[in-house]
Every structure is written in C-alpha cells, then in structure tokens.
C-alpha cells in the first residue's frame, strides 16, 4: 500500500475544504487536499449565492478568505459582489459556481496545496485518541495518508465517524426517530429573459445588479413561487404535492438562472444506496420541472436546462465538539471569548417530513460568535472539523451550514491545523488568543 505524508490532510474540497486548505498552506503547513469528485467547490459549484456576509442590519461580519474568494470571482467576471435585498435576508452575494471552481483551483495551486482528485477516505487507523492514518481509495489503488492534523471538511464528518468519534445525525422527528433536511438537485436554465422571469416568479422585489460587460441593471436574486402553475405541476407528477413550491433563484448573468426547487425527502446523505436513488428521483424531477417551466413561465420560452452534477445535501452528521453552537446563540445573538468568526444567516430549516422552509432571524445584533471548540472533536488529539458538520444544534446548524460560515470555520480550522501540526499540540489545548491574533492579522472579522 502506498503511503503519503503531510502536515495537514484536508478531507473534502467543498467550499469549506477550499478555505481550510488555503489557510493551512498559507500558514506554512505542507497541505494535501483529498476530494472524491474530479473538481473542488462541492455544493458551491451547483449555482448558489454565498450566504451570508451581512447581518439583517447590513453590518458586514464575514471577511477574510471568504471575502477574498468573492473579490477574486468578481475580478474573473463570475460575481456581482454583495447586493442589497429586501427579503428574508438584507444582502445577497451571487457567485457563479464554475467561476468559483476555477478561482479556487488557481488559488489552491498558487498556495502550494497538493490536490488529489477522485480520492475517497474509507477508513481510519487509530491508537487511543490519536488517528494514525486514513485509508483512501484512489483510482484502482488503496493508499494510507498520514498527517500531523486531520482536518475533516467532508460535510458529513466522515473522518470522525470512520475513526469511531462521537456525533449526532439529524434532528428528532415524530415517533422517536431522527430525520434530516431534504436534499436538492439544483438546475440552471440558460437563454432566459431574466427580467420577465423575475416578474412572473418573485414574491419580493428582486435584488438588481450591473456588470461591466452588460448595459443596465438585471435581476440577480429573488425568491418566489410556482403557485400560479400549480395545476400544471400537479398534472406533471405527484412529487410536487410534497412541497410548498418555494423557490430560490440567483445568477450573475443577464440571460441565465440557477434554480433551487427540487426536493428529496427521507434521504440519508451518508448512504450510497439512498443517495443513488435520490439522484435518479431528482434528475427526473429536474426534467419535469424544466419542461413545465419552459412551457408555462414567461421568460423561459427559449431556455435550455442544465442539471447540477451533484445532489446537494443539507444535513447529515454533526460532530460532538468540546464546545457547541447552540439554540441560545441563535436566539440571543451571543458573543463568546473563544470566537473564531461570526454567523449571520438566519436559521434555515427545511422540514425533514414536509420539505416546508422556515427562516428564523438571529437575535441581538443579528449575528453570533462561532466558538473555536465547535471545530474540535471531543474524541481525538489530532483532528479538527470545519463546515457543515461542526458541533452545532439543529437550529445553529441551520445557520452555520451556509457557505460564508463554512469559509469562516474552514479558514479558522486551517490556521489552527497549521499551528498545531507544527508544534504537535493537541487542538483541544490550542492557545485560542494566539489563533485569534493570527486570524485577525489575515483579515478575518472577529468583532
């Protein structure tokens, strides 16, 4: 079996892993990034606005690597930056998924990160609280990777789970069971008259923006409904009875829209059979939805549909950390001594049974501090976690799972991993003020 060694091994190259690997490498760690797909960016490549840099009161509380990526995407023509919106959030940040992928790949390369694509972590060797190696399946080969720090950015907490660490999965639902938020396959429609489409679908005034290569303002973000075409949808398939037909649409182009609309209920994002069945179902949903929309909704008459290449997963495991983001953090907008950055997106819960969506505003000044301890699994002396699977209650996860927050936790975990892998320090014992000082010096916002 081939063996590979590094200081920091980042597992998962989604938006979180990109932030984490950049931060680790820039802080002097020999960094390897393992990614199961043949591209980085994960869910960020499926066509979503990055939420949320700003509080409900339009104070910017996310900066650092998260801001750098938006600036780089905007310079590459793939973002319109931060745009005011008078809906369930006060500002939106539309970013083109393909541009994000290209920009992230370039920045990782420039930072000296070794990226291994098509690499899936399938096992872990441990001695007591210490992970000794991860087993990784690559093209027709099984490898062992060893590292000073293993940084779990898999979204699903795979490293922690494979090594036998503690985690929760989903939320309590009826009958003493646990359920997870639905999954969705995004899709894009090109060749759309986006002004007419927004007029037909939006329930609030759309966020409008300009770009240097186009005359005039165009809609870049709106949420809306297909209720006016309910009869046609019901006729097209029983799937649409399961949802309230709430849709979120964004773009950085005047002729193209990304649609968040399909819904897969009762899917386990950590189970290959469940995810494969969902992929079949959601591909079918996208085909039906795009046919109904093209036939009925103004602006889509000449559209072409492009399904996202992956199914987006909202919720699976959350690790048990030495601290946790809590319901109270969300309710009160609490601030903490051991902060590594802020979370400002309202708690966004898609009901595991009905698919209905509820947004709950963060209290206080509209943001809460994410504690360092939420990135540190209780069970290990050489593991850090970032992104969707950090230690968080269900309501807190509803805010920290969003991409600006994933970049905040990714950057903090990357810097912490570089600091601890060099000194051999247990991340549970890290000097948090030293981490905060470094993060602030690099441009992160700590309040």
- Confirm or reject binding of residue 406 to ligand FAD (CB under 6 A): yes
298 versus 413: smaller Cβ distance to ligand FAD: 413
- Confirm or reject binding of residue 133 to ligand FAD (CB under 6 A): no
**Counting beta carbons within 10 angstroms of the beta carbon of residue 164, is it exposed (0 to 12), middle (13 to 18) or buried (19 or more)?**
exposed
**Residues in 84-123 at the binding interface with ligand FAD, rule: CB under 6 A:** 119-121
Among 49, 149, 417, 418, the residue binding ligand FAD under the rule CB under 6 A is 49
Q: What is the C-alpha separation between 162 and 154, in angstroms, rounded?
A: 12
228 versus 358: smaller Cβ distance to ligand FAD: 358
- Confirm or reject binding of residue 388 to ligand FAD (CB under 6 A): yes
- Confirm or reject binding of residue 158 to ligand FAD (CB under 6 A): yes
For ligand FAD, which stretch binds (CB under 6 A), given 12-20, 237-245, 295-303, 438-446?
12-20
34 versus 334: smaller Cβ distance to ligand FAD: 34
Pattern of binders to ligand FAD over 290-319, x per CB under 6 A?
----------------------xxx-----
274 versus 425: smaller Cβ distance to ligand FAD: 274
Among 8, 17, 297, 382, the residue binding ligand FAD under the rule CB under 6 A is 17
- Confirm or reject binding of residue 169 to ligand FAD (CB under 6 A): no
Residue nearest to ligand FAD (CB): 14
126 versus 388: smaller Cβ distance to ligand FAD: 388
Among 7, 68, 156, 281, the residue binding ligand FAD under the rule CB under 6 A is 156
Among 6, 7, 8, 16, the residue binding ligand FAD under the rule CB under 6 A is 16
Q: How far is the CB of 76 from ligand FAD (least distance, A)?
A: 19
Q: How far is the CB of 437 from ligand FAD (least distance, A)?
A: 26
How many CB atoms are located within 10 Å of the residue 112 CB? 12
Q: How far is the CB of 49 from ligand FAD (least distance, A)?
A: 5
Q: What is the C-alpha separation between 55 and 361, in angstroms, rounded?
A: 9
Q: What is the C-alpha separation between 269 and 398, in angstroms, rounded?
A: 16
Decide: 124 and 159 in contact? Cβ < 8 Å: yes
**Which residues 6+ apart lie within 8 Å of 188 measured at CB?**
47, 256, 257, 258, 259, 305, 306, 308
- Confirm or reject binding of residue 346 to ligand FAD (CB under 6 A): no
- Confirm or reject binding of residue 4 to ligand FAD (CB under 6 A): no
Among 99, 194, 246, 402, the residue binding ligand FAD under the rule CB under 6 A is 402
299 versus 398: smaller Cβ distance to ligand FAD: 398
| Count of residues touching ligand FAD (by CB under 6 A) | 38
Q: What is the C-alpha separation between 219 and 94, in angstroms, rounded?
A: 11
**DSSP strands (E only) in 77-157:** 83-84, 91-92, 114-117, 120-127, 130-138, 141-152
Among 184, 285, 339, 379, the residue binding ligand FAD under the rule CB under 6 A is 184
Pattern of binders to ligand FAD over 226-245, x per CB under 6 A?
--------------------
187 versus 213: smaller Cβ distance to ligand FAD: 187
Pairing of strands 347-350, 256-260: unpaired
Residue 360 region, left (φ>0) first, then alpha (ψ -120 to 50), else beta?
Answer: beta
Decide: 18 and 40 in contact? Cβ < 8 Å: yes
Q: What is the C-alpha separation between 406 and 155, in angstroms, rounded?
A: 10
Residue with tokens 């950057």: 411
For ligand FAD, which stretch binds (CB under 6 A), given 7-15, 239-247, 290-298, 326-334?
7-15
- Confirm or reject binding of residue 44 to ligand FAD (CB under 6 A): yes
Q: How far is the CB of 258 from ligand FAD (least distance, A)?
A: 9
120 versus 168: smaller Cβ distance to ligand FAD: 120
- What distances in angstroms separate CA 278 from CA 188, 262, 283, 296, 330, one per listed residue? 19, 11, 8, 26, 31
How many CB atoms are located within 10 Å of the residue 438 CB? 17
Residue 129 has φ and ψ, to the nearest 5°, of -90, 5
β-pair partners for 150: 9, 383
- Confirm or reject binding of residue 407 to ligand FAD (CB under 6 A): no
Residue 11 has φ and ψ, to the nearest 5°, of -105, 115
User: Which of 408, 336, 398, 337 is CA-nearest to residue 375?
Assistant: 408
Q: How far is the CB of 120 from ligand FAD (least distance, A)?
A: 4
What is residue 90's DSSP assignment? S
Alpha-carbon radius of gyration of the chain: 21
For ligand FAD, the binding residues (CB under 6 A) are 11-17, 34-37, 42-44, 48-51, 119-121, 153-156, 158, 184, 186, 260, 312-314, 387-388, 401-403, 406
């Amino acid at each position: 079996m081939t063996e590979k060694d590094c200081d920091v091994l980042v597992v998962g190259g989604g938006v979180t892993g990109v932030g984490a690997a950049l931060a680790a490498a820039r802080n002097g760690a020999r960094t390897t990034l393992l990614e199961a797909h043949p591209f980085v960016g994960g869910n960020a490549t499926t066509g979503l606005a990055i939420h949320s840099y700003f509080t409900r009161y339009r104070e910017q509380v996310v900066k650092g690597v998260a801001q750098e990526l938006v600036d780089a995407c905007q310079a590459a023509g793939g973002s319109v930056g931060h745009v005011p919106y008078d809906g369930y959030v006060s500002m939106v940040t539309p970013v083109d998924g393909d541009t994000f992928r290209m920009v992230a790949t370039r920045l990782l390369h420039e930072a000296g990160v070794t990226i291994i694509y098509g690499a899936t972590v399938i096992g872990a060797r441990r001695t007591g609280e210490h992970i000794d190696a991860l087993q990784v399946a690559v093209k027709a080969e099984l490898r062992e990777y060893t590292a000073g720090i293993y940084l779990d950015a898999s979204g699903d907490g795979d490293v922690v789970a494979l090594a036998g660490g503690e985690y929760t999965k989903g939320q309590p639902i009826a009958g003493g069971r646990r359920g997870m938020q639905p999954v969705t396959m995004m899709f894009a429609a090109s060749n759309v008259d986006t002004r007419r489409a927004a007029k037909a679908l939006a329930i609030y005034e759309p966020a409008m923006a300009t770009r240097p290569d186009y005359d005039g303002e165009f809609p870049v973000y709106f949420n809306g409904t297909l209720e006016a075409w309910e009869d046609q949808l019901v006729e097209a398939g029983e799937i649409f009875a399961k949802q309230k037909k709430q849709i979120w649409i964004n773009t950085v182009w005047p002729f193209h829209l990304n649609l968040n609309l399909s819904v897969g209920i009762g899917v386990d994002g950590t189970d290959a059979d469940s995810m494969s069945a969902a992929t079949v179902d959601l591909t079918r949903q996208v085909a039906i939805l795009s046919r109904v929309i093209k036939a009925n909704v103004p602006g889509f008459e000449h559209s072409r549909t492009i399904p996202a290449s992956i199914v987006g997963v909202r919720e699976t495991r959350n690790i048990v950390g030495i601290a946790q983001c809590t319901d109270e953090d969300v309710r009160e907008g609490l601030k903490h001594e051991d902060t590594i950055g802020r979370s400002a997106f309202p708690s966004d819960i898609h009901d595991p049974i009905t698919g209905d969506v509820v947004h709950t505003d963060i209290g206080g000044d509209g943001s809460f501090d994410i504690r360092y301890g939420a990135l540190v699994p209780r069970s290990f002396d050489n593991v850090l976690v970032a992104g969707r699977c950090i230690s968080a209650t269900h309501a807190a996860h509803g805010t920290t799972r969003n991409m600006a927050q994933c970049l905040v936790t990714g950057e903090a975990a990357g810097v912490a991993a570089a600091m601890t892998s060099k000194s051999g320090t247990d991340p549970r014992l890290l000097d948090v003020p030293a981490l905060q000082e470094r993060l602030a010096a690099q441009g992160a916002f700590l309040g």
